[in-house]
């Protein structure tokens, strides 16, 4: 796994809200080859899960990533889903949206963190949030154990939705800056790899080979074209029932709403130059110049 890290990062806090409960990781029994896919949210999480799943299972078409790879710290996960993960005998793939300092980090596991420009994240979150059925609000807000305010209905104006998110540190979700910053700070660790949505779009096969190398997965040559095809947006959109959490139940339109457009830059025709600049200035202030540049471009 490379260099030995003696000062291993420790969990320093709990994060609990309408979606997440970080205590779910406190007694998690890690295995030597676990893979944890992490993002702030709407940054390519499901895409990365599919990539890892296709690499692990060598292009098998029947891999239901939404069933085998749950969001472990999602507070409404039923006990039987957790039990099924514990019982898995294959290499496990789990998902989290926690900042690294609220997560139990194990030297046994490999962590793949996927980032995306915050403006694109918000546009994707807006579609995600607008598509929620009333049953979804009941799940998030009425399931016992809620800490903090309930999940509100979204502002129907995407521009206001973005500006509120920016001005109120991720509202109505969670802090974007602390999530990004916490993982950027761990980029030197031998079992942490940073990936960027824009780079996945620009060179999917190349990025997948890097991920395979990071995960120590050898790819049989004959399987490679199939593996790459199964990770394309067109393929995932056509088979969206395999990827949407909870089978797509929370959304109007089901899994087809969950796998939406997979595009960047939709904010360009909505935000004013001043609003876009305000975001970029805040990114540099909160993250520093190097991280802000990486977040915007994907270039390390």
- Cβ-proximal residues to 89 (8 Å cutoff; 6+ apart), any chain: none
Tokens of 287: 């993250």
Rounded CA gap, 216 and 239, in Å? 28
pTM of the model: 0.92
- State the pLDDT at residue 191: 97
Query: How large a percentage of the chain has pLDDT more than 90?
Result: 80
In a domain, 242, yes or no: yes
- State the pLDDT at residue 245: 64
In a domain, 90, yes or no: yes
Does the pLDDT value for residue 2 go beyond 50?
no
Region class of 145: left (phi > 0), else alpha (psi between -120 and 50), else beta: left
Peptide bond into 172 cis (omega under 30): yes
- Cβ-proximal residues to 160 (8 Å cutoff; 6+ apart), any chain: none
- State the pLDDT at residue 212: 97
In a domain, 124, yes or no: yes
Range in 43-47, 201-205, 235-239 the model is least confident about: 235-239
What is the H or E stretch that residue 115 is in? strand 110-115
What is the H or E stretch that residue 94 is in? strand 93-96
In a domain, 7, yes or no: no
In a domain, 180, yes or no: yes
Number of domains making up the chain: 1
Tell me: the pLDDT tens digits for 162-178? 999 999 999 999 999 99
Tell me: the pLDDT tens digits for 238-280? 887 777 665 655 656 544 555 556 677 889 999 999 999 999 9
Helices (H), the chain: 45-56, 65-68, 79-87, 118-130, 134-142, 158-167, 176-184, 197-202, 204-214, 224-230, 233-238, 255-258, 273-287, 289-297
In a domain, 8, yes or no: no
In a domain, 159, yes or no: yes
C-beta neighbour count of 268 within 10 angstroms: 11
Using the structure block, give the residue that is written with the tokens 């609220």: 102
User: Range of 197's domain?
Assistant: 22-297
Q: Are strands 93-96 and 192-196 parallel, antiparallel or unpaired?
A: unpaired
Rounded CA gap, 240 and 260, in Å? 10
- State the pLDDT at residue 13: 97
Rounded CA gap, 57 and 242, in Å? 15
Q: What is the CATH classification number for the domain harbouring 118?
A: 3.40.50.300
In a domain, 15, yes or no: no
3-state secondary structure of 122: helix
């Amino acid at each position: 796994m490379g260099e030995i890290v003696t000062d291993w990062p420790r969990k320093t806090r709990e994060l609990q809200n309408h979606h997440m409960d970080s205590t779910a990781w406190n007694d998690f029994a890690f295995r030597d080859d676990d893979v944890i896919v992490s993002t702030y949210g709407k940054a390519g999480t499901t895409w990365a899960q599919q990539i890892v799943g296709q690499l692990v299972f060598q292009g098998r078409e029947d891999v239901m990533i939404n069933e085998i790879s749950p969001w472990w710290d999602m507070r409404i996960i039923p006990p039987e889903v957790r039990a099924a993960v514990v019982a898995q005998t294959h290499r496990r793939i789990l998902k989290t949206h926690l900042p690294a300092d609220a997560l139990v980090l194990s030297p046994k596991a490999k962590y793949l963190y996927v980032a995306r420009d915050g403006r694109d994240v918000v546009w994707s979150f807006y579609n995600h949030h607008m598509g929620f059925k009333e049953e979804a609000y009941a799940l998030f807000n009425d399931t016992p154990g809620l800490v903090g305010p309930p999940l509100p209905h979204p502002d129907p104006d995407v521009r206001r939705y973005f500006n509120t998110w920016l001005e109120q540190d991720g509202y109505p979700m969670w802090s974007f800056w602390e999530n990004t910053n916490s993982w950027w700070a761990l980029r030197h660790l031998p079992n942490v790899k940073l990936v960027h949505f824009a780079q996945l779009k620009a060179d999917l096969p190349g990025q997948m080979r890097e991920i395979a190398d990071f995960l120590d997965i050898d790819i049989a040559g004959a399987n490679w074209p199939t593996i790459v095809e199964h990770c394309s947006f067109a393929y995932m959109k056509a088979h969206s029932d395999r990827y949407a959490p909870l089978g797509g139940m929370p959304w109007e339109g089901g899994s087809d709403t969950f796998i939406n457009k997979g595009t960047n830059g939709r904010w360009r025709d909505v935000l004013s130059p001043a609003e876009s600049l305000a975001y970029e200035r805040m990114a540099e202030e909160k993250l520093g110049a190097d991280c802000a540049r990486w977040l915007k471009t994907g270039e390390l």
